[in-house]
């Protein structure tokens, strides 16, 4: 499998770092500062056409038309949940692959302000094979390029900015209170740390102060538990958050739903997380999908509490989004609260995630499955 589509021309500018973009501009006979103008037009102004980049000369724009492209996402579906809190888009890439992106809106909760969080995909499909995940049931096809990852955020940023303008026009907020996308989570289709370089380069683009300027601490990279990559991430000069999928408190149970546990069982995984905490000083978020009858008993919650006691972490508990091919159902509300209470007894903080977008198949891979079934 290749790490990016083999497209020789036109060149996608969104695959370039800022330094690479400036070098390309110089190669085209322009002054280096034109590269900075082009970067700003792409990411700060969100221009979708070279014709709209009026800060650039006509000749330069014509040359860009001949050699380069901006975006390569074709919208197949764009759905909004009934409560208006969630948008989900299904995109087709130039080679026909389908990927998903979700925008989730959160109201103030007493601790945090209004948030707009984008969940992005990093691969077409996924090789990890988690049995409760719609994407894992579809198999792996290829990695996404930097531009294909970043484009997903840019699509939702345009939507968020339109919402800001409507709220400003309606007097709901001031002009100085524009917000756009506030958070990005790499929790969509695929395993981000298996596509390590493109994922981290996408983070750098999103974080760039001359672009979307999304704070590193508002960006979360997730993993099913690739130990070497977690250690590598610990040494990166980026203040991103790390989320690790556990989904079971013991190796036997975890291996039943997560094949990766055969290669990276819990003990080395937890040690890698402790290394990350020691090197960065940041807590790790452990993701735990509650699968009724599989990993959601109070005894399993106690075992999880013993595993994580004393670790600088937070556990996010999420009832499973059932899939057509998945064998697992959702625990009851009483069962979820009992699980959380047992964790609390061991001093392990946790949150039962607010569910969003169930009516529009917002769970990872579900909208693609719907589209493939139709086609």
pLDDT digits over 159-169, tens only? 999 998 888 88
Q: What is the mean pLDDT of the chain?
A: 89
For the sheet containing 284-290, what is the strand order?
Answer: 74-80, 86-92, 98-106, 115-119, 183-186, 219-223, 241-245, 284-290, 313-319, 350-352
For 130-159, what is the mean pLDDT?
A: 91
Long-range contacts of 214-218 (CB under 8 A, 24+ apart): 214/153, 214/181, 214/182, 214/183, 214/184, 216/240, 217/241, 218/182, 218/183, 218/184
Structural tokens at position 351: 């949150």
189-247 per-position pLDDT tens digit: 999 999 999 999 999 999 999 889 999 999 999 999 999 999 999 999 999 999 999 99
360, 103 in Cβ contact below 8 A? no
Lowest mean pLDDT: which of 12-16, 43-47, 313-317, 363-367?
363-367
272-290 per-position pLDDT tens digit: 999 999 999 999 999 999 9
**What confidence score (pLDDT) does residue 4 get?**
52
Phi, psi of 8, rounded to the nearest 5 degrees: -80, -35
Q: Which is nearest to 254 in space by CA: 132, 365, 115? A: 132
Name every residue whose Cβ is closer than 8 Å to that of residue 166 and which is 6 or more positions away in sequence: none
- Classified by CATH at the fold level, domain 11-69 comes out as DNA polymerase; domain 1 (1.10.150)
- The residue behind tokens 């408190």 is 249
Domain boundaries, the chain: 11-69, 74-374
14-65 per-position pLDDT tens digit: 999 999 999 999 999 999 999 999 999 999 999 999 999 999 999 999 999 9
Show which residues are catalytic: 100, 364
On the question of pLDDT at 172 being above 60, the answer is yes
On the question of pLDDT at 359 being above 70, the answer is no
pTM of the predicted structure, to 2 decimals: 0.89
Domains 11-69 and 74-374 share a fold: no
- Domain spanning 74-374, CATH class: alpha beta
């Amino acid at each position: 499998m290749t790490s990016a589509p083999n497209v020789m021309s036109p060149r996608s500018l969104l695959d370039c770092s800022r330094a690479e973009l400036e070098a390309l501009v110089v190669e085209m006979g322009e002054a280096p500062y034109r590269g900075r103008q082009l970067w700003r037009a792409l990411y700060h102004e969100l221009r979708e056409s070279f014709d709209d980049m009026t800060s650039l000369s006509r000749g330069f724009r014509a040359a860009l038309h001949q050699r380069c492209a901006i975006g390569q996402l074709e919208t197949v579906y764009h759905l909004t949940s009934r409560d208006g809190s969630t948008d989900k888009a299904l995109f087709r890439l130039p080679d026909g692959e389908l990927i998903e992106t979700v925008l989730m809106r959160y109201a103030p909760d007493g601790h945090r302000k209004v948030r707009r969080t984008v969940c992005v995909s990093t691969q077409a499909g996924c090789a990890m094979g988690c049995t409760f995940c719609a994407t894992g049931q579809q198999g792996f096809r290829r990695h996404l390029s930097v531009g294909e990852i970043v484009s997903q955020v840019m699509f939702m940023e345009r939507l968020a900015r339109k919402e800001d303008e409507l709220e400003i026009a309606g007097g709901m907020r001031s002009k100085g209170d524009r917000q756009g996308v506030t958070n990005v989570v790499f929790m969509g289709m695929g395993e981000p740390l298996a596509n390590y370089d493109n994922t981290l380069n996408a983070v750098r683009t999103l974080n760039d102060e001359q672009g979307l300027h999304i704070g590193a601490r508002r960006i979360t990279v997730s993993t099913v538990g690739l130990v070497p990559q977690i250690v590598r991430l610990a040494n990166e000069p980026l203040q991103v958050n790390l989320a690790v999928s556990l989904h079971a408190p013991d190796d036997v149970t975890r291996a039943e739903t997560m094949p990766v546990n055969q290669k990276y069982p819990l003990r080395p995984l937890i040690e890698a997380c402790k290394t990350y905490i020691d090197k960065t000083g940041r807590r790790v978020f452990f993701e735990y999908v509650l699968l009724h009858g599989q990993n959601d008993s109070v005894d399993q919650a106690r075992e999880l509490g013993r595993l994580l006691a004393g670790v600088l972490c937070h556990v996010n508990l999420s009832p499973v989004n059932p899939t057509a091919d998945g064998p697992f159902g959702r625990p009851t509300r009483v069962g979820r609260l009992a699980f959380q209470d047992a964790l609390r007894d061991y001093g392990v903080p946790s949150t039962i995630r607010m569910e969003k977008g169930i009516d529009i198949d917002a769970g990872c891979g579900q909208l693609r499955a719907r589209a493939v079934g139709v086609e």
